Amino acid sequence: MKQAYLCAFLTLFLAGTALGSPYPQAERYFALRAKHLVVSDATPENIQTQPTDFDGRLVEVRGQVVGSALRDGGGSFILNGDQHVWMVDATDLPLLDLLKLRTAVRLLCRVGTVQGTGTGMLMAAAGVLENDAGAWEEMKARQAEEVREAARLRAEAQRQRQPVRASRGAMQTQVPIDVSPSYEQILQAYSKAVRFFNRRLNQAQADRIARNIINYSVKYGLDARLVMAVIACESNFNLHAISRAGAMGLGQLMPGTAAGLGVTDPFNAEQNLEGATRLLSGHIRTFARKRGGEVTEREIRLALACYNAGAGAVNRHKGIPPYRETRNYIRKVTELYRRFCGEE
Answer yes or no: 270 catalytic. Answer: no
Name the nearest CA neighbour of 54 among 110, 126, 115: 110
Q: How many CA atoms lie within 13 A of 314 on its CB side?
A: 22
Active-site residue, from 27, 45, 149, 234: 234
User: Rounded to whole angstroms, how far apart are CA atoms 40 and 123?
Assistant: 15
Instruction: List residues with catalytic annotation.
Output: 234
